[in-house]
Amino acid sequence: MKMILAMVRKELVDAARDKRSVMAGLYYAIGTPLIMCAMFMVLIGQLSSPEDLNINIHNADKAPDLVRYLSNNGINHGEDEQAKKIILTISDDYAANMAKAKPAEVLLIADNSDEKLQKSIRRLERQLQTYSAEMGSIRLIARGINPRITQPLKINIEDQATPDSKGGMILGIAIFTMMYSVFISGMNLAIDTSAGERERNSLALLLSHPMSTRQLVIGKIIAVTCFALLGLILILLVSKVAYPFVPWQEIGFTVNITQDFMGLMFLVGIPVALMAATLQLYVSFMAKTFKEAQSYLTMVLFVPLALSMAASYNIAPDVLQWLPVSGQQQALMDFIKGREIPMMQLIVSSVATLVIAIGLAAGLEKSLKSEKVVFGL
């Protein structure tokens, strides 16, 4: 046990000396919640008070009521280049057709392939449809007909979602970033303590010390796991402080990162961190150079990333709820939405995570007994 603790101490001290490269992974844990909060604040601001939309209206004098209606809803006539990207052309016989209660034509000209314009186009279309419905109701009233006769079915929707459960949708994205921070935070240390040590010719020297290969492997796994959990703790603390500054109440959401959630997230993150550490060390030792290890890990980490995203956006088949990463994330999402935690899924996915970690650790121990791996031949 003393040899393992000495190995862990040695790895952590080396990591503290090389702050620039090893600490880079922890910057993700600190910066991601801040960036996400800034994005949510901008998005909520746009949803709660959308900016005025300027479009180019041809023959505006033919339909003053329509132009006034659009202006009251934040859509104005403009002559600049940006406004001319969306053109609304009012037909010459618009006023005559409206007076005769006939369909009056307007032509909307815009480039639907321009992603920046799509939101503005949809907004204009909605306002035109609303205006058309209002004019239709006025025509029916003028003829003594109740407009409700055109609505044979009245649909009432009762939303049973609570502000907390709505906020759970936002925290689902946050959980994804938290889960991914476990893999990112310790990655640089895993590469440095494996492929990096081999390039510095210190790996063979370590193996010559009076310690078993198993002790060396366990020591490295614990060190990388500590960094992974440190990243998780940092992202939880920063999220706890940052998320309350977002005006969630303006969209009817409540987002609370409670101590219970933080505790559950940390417990769930322990087996994930162990698997991440063993996976990164195994892949790094299989690579022959430091840069090669970085390339391999970038591709390998796409698997947990995909599993986490599938659970976040509910696009995964039911079988993924029993797998590592996706199973834990699904349980966390149920917890923050106030639902009952699927304990069986959580236990099975956590045990599967530990089994994978143990298997990778055993494979790593075996590989370090090969000269090809130790010397990168």
Same domain, yes or no: 133 and 268: no
Predicted confidence band at 157 (pLDDT cuts at 50, 70, 90)? confident
Average pLDDT over residues 151-163: 71
Task: Write down the mean pLDDT value for the chain.
Answer: 81
Taking 3-state DSSP, the helix, strand and coil percentages for the chain, each rounded to the nearest 5, stand at 70, 5, 25
Give the integer Cα–Cα distance in Å for 145 and 327: 57
Predicted confidence band at 305 (pLDDT cuts at 50, 70, 90)? confident
Same domain, yes or no: 92 and 173: no
| 334 belongs to a structural domain | yes
Average pLDDT over residues 266-288: 88
Measured in residues, the chain has a length of 377
Last residue of a domain, one of 150, 178, 211: 150
Q: Taking 70 as the threshold, does the pLDDT of residue 161 lie above it?
A: no
- The reported pLDDT for the residue numbered 266 is 92
Torsion sign, CA atoms 353, 359, 362, 367: negative
| 231 belongs to a structural domain | yes
Last residue of a domain, one of 101, 128, 150: 150
Same domain, yes or no: 243 and 362: yes
| 21 belongs to a structural domain | yes
Predicted confidence band at 370 (pLDDT cuts at 50, 70, 90)? low
- The reported pLDDT for the residue numbered 273 is 92
Q: 200, 288 in Cβ contact below 8 A?
A: no
Same domain, yes or no: 243 and 315: yes
Average pLDDT over residues 351-362: 90
Q: 37, 174 in Cβ contact below 8 A?
A: no
Closest CA to 215 of 206, 227, 224: 206
Same domain, yes or no: 58 and 20: no
Give the integer Cα–Cα distance in Å for 75 and 240: 39
- CA-to-CA dists, residue 93 to 61, 90, 102, 119, 377, angstroms: 12, 9, 10, 29, 83
Last residue of a domain, one of 150, 180, 202: 150
Residue 146 Rama label (left phi>0; alpha psi -120 to 50; beta):
beta
DSSP strand pairing (86-90 vs 106-110): antiparallel
Give the integer Cα–Cα distance in Å for 183 and 178: 9
Q: Taking 80 as the threshold, does the pLDDT of residue 320 lie above it?
A: no
Q: In 10 A of CB 195, how many CB atoms?
A: 27
DSSP strand pairing (86-90 vs 53-58): parallel
Same domain, yes or no: 285 and 218: yes
Same domain, yes or no: 143 and 212: no
Can you give the pTM of this predicted structure?
Answer: 0.72
Interval 67-126: pLDDT, tens: 888 888 888 888 888 888 888 899 888 888 888 888 888 898 888 888 778 888 888 899
Buried b / exposed e over 55-75, threshold 16 CB at 10 Å, is bbbeeeebbeebbebbeebeb
Same domain, yes or no: 126 and 171: no
Residue type present at position 345: Q
| 159 belongs to a structural domain | no
Range of the domain at 70: 54-150
- The reported pLDDT for the residue numbered 54 is 87
- The reported pLDDT for the residue numbered 138 is 85
| 158 belongs to a structural domain | no
Residues 6+ positions from 273 with CB-CB distance below 8 Å: 182, 186, 225, 228, 229, 232
- The reported pLDDT for the residue numbered 274 is 92
Predicted confidence band at 21 (pLDDT cuts at 50, 70, 90)? low
Residue type present at position 200: R
Interval 167-215: pLDDT, tens: 666 677 788 888 888 888 888 888 878 777 777 777 666 666 777 878 8
Same domain, yes or no: 218 and 315: yes
| 358 belongs to a structural domain | yes
Q: Which residues pair with 56 in a beta bridge?
A: 87
Residues 6+ positions from 96 with CB-CB distance below 8 Å: none
Q: How many domains does the chain have?
A: 2
Residue 156 Rama label (left phi>0; alpha psi -120 to 50; beta):
beta
Same domain, yes or no: 284 and 206: yes
- The reported pLDDT for the residue numbered 159 is 64
Same domain, yes or no: 284 and 139: no
| 48 belongs to a structural domain | no
- The reported pLDDT for the residue numbered 355 is 93
Same domain, yes or no: 200 and 337: yes
Q: Taking 70 as the threshold, does the pLDDT of residue 239 lie above it?
A: yes
- The reported pLDDT for the residue numbered 37 is 86
Average pLDDT over residues 155-171: 67
Residue type present at position 259: Q
